[in-house]
Amino acid sequence: MTKNLRVKTGKAIDETYRISFKFNGTTYYGFKGDTLSSALLANDVHLVGRSFKYHRPRGIMTAGSEEPNAIVQLHDNSSRTEPNVRATEVEIYEGLEASSQNCWPSVKFDIGGINNFLSPLLPAGFYYKTFMWPASFWEKYEYFIRRSAGLGKSPKEKDPDVYEHKYIHCDVLVIGSGISGIMSAKTAAKNGFKTLLVEEKPNLGGSTIYQNSDFFKINNQNSSSWLEKELNEIKKLGNLEIKTRTSVAAFHGYNFLLARENFTDHLPIEQRSNKTRQKLLKIRAKKVITATGSIERPMIFDNNDRPGILLSSAIKKYADFFGVASGEENILFTNNDSAYETAISLIQKGIKIKAIIDNREYVDSKLHYEVEKNNIKIFKGYTITDTFGYKRINKISIKQLSKDGQKVVGSKINLSCDCLGVSGGWTPAVHLFTQSGGKLKFREEDQVFIPNIYPSDQLSVGSCNGDFTLEEILKNTSKSLKEFLNIENTEYENLEILSSFNKSKRNIWLLPSDKVFGKTKSFVDYQNDATAKDIKLALREGFRSIEHVKRYTTTGMGTDQGKLGNMHALGIISETAGAKMGELGTTTFRPPYTPLTFGTIVGRNVGEFFDIFRKTPIHNWHVKNKAEFENVGQWKRAWYYPKKNENMHQAVQRESKAARESAGILDASTLGKIDIQGTDASEFLNRVYTNAWSKLAIGKCRYGLMLNEDGMVYDDGVTTRLDENHYIMTTTTGGAANVMAKLEDYLQTEWPELDVYLTSVTDHFATVSICGPSSKKIVSEVIPDLNFSDESFPHMSFKNAKIGKINCRVMRISFTGEHSYEINVQANYGKSVWEKCMEVGKDYNITPYGTETMHLLRAEKGFIIVGQDTDATMTPIDLQMDWIVSKKKYDFIGKRSLYRSDTIKEDRKQLVGLITDNPNEILEEGAQIVADINKSPIEMLGHVTSSYYSPNLKKSIALGVVRGGKNMMGQKLIVPMEKKNINVTVADPVFLDKENKRLNA
Amino acid sequence: MFIIHCPFCGEREQSEFKSGGEAHIVRPRQPTELSDDEWAEYLFMRKNIKGIQFERWNHAHGCRKWFNMVRDTSNDEIKAVYKMGEKPPIK
Ligand SMILES: [Zn+2]
């Protein structure tokens, strides 16, 4: 039987509403309003997981999003399973199933626990050092490390939930609904600002909402009652929108913030369908008020990580807010007044406190006297030196601190307990402030970093700004709001405040122990198992920068980003290295503040909406005729059209033969098309292409090569002169948008004097390309009014024509080396023109072919594909295309780079043809090309860029780039593969019809 | 994420824009007259300043116009935007 540790009704709990849930297979009960952690504690369950490296048993430590230990997997083995969830943030619901992570085979018996005893072998930098061992060692360890270190399991099924993105614009965004956040939201909204208040928890009010003691009063009421009234009032304000369960993940520049609003995670699974699970809010706020509060610091002493050790403030919250005692025999350990607040709450609830250990020798505060009145033993000037209990704390040892706090003195006292609350003071939650670019300053008197320089129109209020007493919070928040919102006064200026918190504190970053330092395990980062010893080791090994120490020890690199221990890490570095805290700086907190689900990040952009895909006007015909498709940029292009039982190779062989022997038809609509007009259009083309354009006659077409300014090939295509001042340029399918942008850039910035206008018309035209010996007969029948004789319509020329009433542009150009025509029509006529060609072509064995056959046909002719045979390091000279580079033109983009010392080198990689000794051996694209395989290391000369079996030549052909290849014609080279070496001969890249006879066949 | 004032369209989200690197690097009018070093200076050398930097930006998903921006790279504050061909309003 488990114990019931439920005490008096907690503020958040509805005891009339009982909820059952499972943890590690056992059924437990909690109440509506419980978090998984409060419900577990109510059932006396502390042990929830194992630590990452040493697999030490770990328990619930906090009551908030800073939780490092209580990390669970929800609904394991279901489509909704989620790893790395903080038990402190899970609201329980009927049917909730959670299980421990990081333990194998179970949380109570964990095989990785052996790491705890091996820990001398697992020092800081263990993983780095392991990686540096011979690879063969690592492979052996990897299996065990992965198996035992796992950070939860990702779902294997499709996410059944729906996620959304939403833009929000507001005048004032308030982050956090503690007392200062509520004051800010109310003041902003009442003064006419459109205000949004976001709170990560399901309820408003922060920690003040359960502050019921007589020691904290506003206008003679308990601070909780006072705040309760404020909450009722703000809910009526029309100008204020309140979002709970909404956590700000990122605070970017210009007051742009990302937040996650959660809608269904607190509902039973069966109530979640047809609802949006989470929304990613993209918030643009004119002003941001950060009221993110502060996080209590643990203390660094030997074995400070056992289950049953919690933050003192968490014990208070579990008691006051959830009505749960975290233990039956409690000890509190503190260096400041906070533990006494907790003690007073526990006394009120009748929860036993065995003792309080206080680092301070002299304590003069009302809270302390009140606790003393209740006959609770207080050890002043003492520290904990060790703790005991494997799966739950059962005993502590304490000793007196020396005057300087560096040593322990006197005799050891042992105290039994089942719960230990620690308070090392408070750390302002400045994570979002620093994400936004804010600069911090270090406040010596209480050893905290607080906001100093704001990078945008924003304000930090409350304890995240370093105001820790009720009086400071109320007064300073009111004062700052007046200035920030530029208003005359606030309603909070004349409050009567009773605040009993004494700010005195005895800060010792690393508490002394009576053990040898090397034998202690004082955890600084609980989630990543980094200890004080690790940090000192890193310093001994020479690391100085806090960022380096962080990476080497992995301190602060867990999913909690070290929200608890980062300050201690800094403190220990500061003390050990003798550097001032303020000068060390802090590590950078990066978004997200708390982890986001992938679902939230992608929103609705899933499945077919993940990326845009573009279809040609003829797409449905390809689908109907069973084409396989390939992605080219965002386009879906017909790849090949397999007939019954054909594989890709067979289909491509058939299509290629038909294209050369009868007729082939290709959908070329995806090619980029740019309409160029203006009196300087010819001059413009002269400047962007390597060849000359001024003398191109109207009605003629020309192939052009475009370079980058560095001389490397950027794009290619055929441009046609439609009229005196009118051209249509085609680009590669993938390069269209970039070419357009680049040309616009030059026109607007370098050559604004040119009278040229560019319009992208890619989507406006459909292009049907027909090639092969029968192509002329087919187009003559499709367009009977046009004279297709070679005299009237030679290769590389263009004509306007009509198919019935449809206007079309016909170009006689060829990418296959065959006699061929391209018919361009308005996009919406594309499919009907294609179908007409198919119908007419039936008698001529017209065969639709896809991109694979197109690539094969052009490779037979040695035509390059930019991006396949080139890779932004190839000049036209490297491609053996010297013929296209004008010697006469004064300038064009990239010209000067063609005779830089580097580009004129003889031994650059150059494009060549490759013929395998065995004509049936097909090279693998990307394979390396070498000359000598006996030399070590083998010198890589280049690689294969395109490779096919040519049915028309009945042999394997390939293109490749080879260092100095131009002068290696006929030379034997080797393509070494995993299982054999393939012998090849360097050849002319034009394999078929070198005389171009087929163009006019 | 910045809010950028396009000189032609007004205030827009940064996601509509594309950055184009350092501004006021004029393409040499007579590249053939330049030595390798001089051409390399134009082609490759760019400043990477912590502080006031002059940059080219393009309203790529808007009016498609190029313009210049003065930005403090240390805090991303945009000091000014101005059209191509105009003199920078700040030194
Ligand atoms: Zn614009």
Kindly state whether residue A166 falls inside one of the protein's structural domains. yes
Q: Are residues A437 and A417 in the same domain?
A: no
Phi-psi category of B37—alpha, beta or left, where left has phi over 0 and alpha has psi -120 to 50? alpha
Residue A1: pLDDT over 50 = no
Residue A863: pLDDT over 70 = yes
Q: Are residues A822 and A780 in the same domain?
A: yes
Cβ separation A253–B85 shorter than 8 A: no
A45, two tokens: 């369950």
Nearest-Cα residue of chain A relative to residue B67: A749
Quick: pLDDT tens for A447-497: 999 999 999 999 999 999 999 999 999 999 999 999 999 999 999 999 999
Residue A607: pLDDT over 50 = yes
Among the candidates A108, A132, A158, a domain finishes at A158
Quick: pLDDT tens for A747-773: 999 999 999 999 999 999 999 999 999
Kindly state whether residue A404 falls inside one of the protein's structural domains. yes
Cβ separation A752–B58 shorter than 8 A: no
Q: Are residues A322 and A467 in the same domain?
A: no
Quick: pLDDT tens for A715-724: 999 999 999 9
In angstroms, the CA A391 to CA A306 distance is 7
Among the candidates A424, A447, A473, a domain finishes at A424
Domain boundaries, chain B: 3-83
Q: Are residues A221 and A263 in the same domain?
A: yes
In angstroms, the CA A340 to CA A372 distance is 10
Q: Is the CB of residue A840 less than 8 Å from the CB of residue A971?
A: no
Q: What angle in degrees, to the nearest 10, is found between the helix axes of A470-485 and A179-190?
A: 30
Write out the residue range of the structural domain in which residue A135 sits: 1-158
- CA–centroid distance, residue B7 to ligand 1 (Å): 7
- CA–centroid distance, residue A740 to ligand 1 (Å): 17
Residue A369: pLDDT over 80 = yes
Q: Are residues A420 and A449 in the same domain?
A: no
Kindly state whether residue A750 falls inside one of the protein's structural domains. yes
Residue A117: pLDDT over 70 = no
Chain B positions in Cβ-Cβ contact with residue A710 (cut-off 8 Å): 43
Cβ separation B1–A252 shorter than 8 A: yes
pLDDT of residue A626: 97
Coil, strand or helix at A601: helix
What does chain B come to in residues?
Answer: 91
- CA–centroid distance, residue B67 to ligand 1 (Å): 9
Quick: pLDDT tens for A261-289: 999 999 999 999 999 999 999 999 999 99
Q: Are residues A81 and A181 in the same domain?
A: no
pLDDT of residue A223: 95
Going by C-beta distance under 8 Å and a sequence separation of 6 or more, which residues neighbour residue A99? A23, A24, A25, A72, A73, A76
A837, two tokens: 């060609």
User: How many domains is chain A partitioned into structurally?
Assistant: 5
| CATH number of domain containing A137 | 3.10.20.440
Write out residues in chain B with pLDDT < 50, as ranges: none
Chain B positions in Cβ-Cβ contact with residue A752 (cut-off 8 Å): 84-85
Residue A546: pLDDT over 60 = yes
**Cα of A875 vs its chain's centroid, Å:** 36
CB-neighbour burial class of residue A399 (10 A; exposed 0-12, middle 13-18, buried 19+): buried
Q: Are residues A688 and A830 in the same domain?
A: yes
Quick: pLDDT tens for A157-200: 999 999 999 999 999 999 999 999 999 999 999 999 999 999 99
Quick: pLDDT tens for A66-81: 999 999 999 998 999 9
Q: Are residues A269 and A330 in the same domain?
A: no
| β pairing state of A981-987 and A972-976 | antiparallel
| β pairing state of A240-243 and A195-198 | parallel
Chain A positions in Cβ-Cβ contact with residue B7 (cut-off 8 Å): none
pLDDT of residue A713: 97
- Domain B3-83: give its CATH architecture: 2-Layer Sandwich (3.30)
Chain B positions in Cβ-Cβ contact with residue A890 (cut-off 8 Å): 32
- What is the mean predicted confidence (pLDDT) over A960-964? 97
Mind telling me how many Å the CA of B30 is from chain A's nearest CA? 8
> What's the pTM?
0.89
Q: Are residues A388 and A414 in the same domain?
A: yes
Q: Are residues A332 and A281 in the same domain?
A: no
- What is the mean predicted confidence (pLDDT) over A504-532? 91
| CATH number of domain containing A683 | 3.30.1360.120
pLDDT of residue A111: 62
Q: Is the CB of residue A332 less than 8 Å from the CB of residue A352?
A: no
Q: Are residues A4 and A147 in the same domain?
A: yes
Among the candidates A158, A190, A216, a domain finishes at A158
Going by C-beta distance under 8 Å and a sequence separation of 6 or more, which residues neighbour residue A425? A296, A297, A335, A336, A338, A446, A447, A448, A505, A507
Kindly state whether residue A870 falls inside one of the protein's structural domains. no
Residue A142: pLDDT over 80 = no
| CATH number of domain containing A911 | 2.40.30.110
Cβ separation A709–B2 shorter than 8 A: no
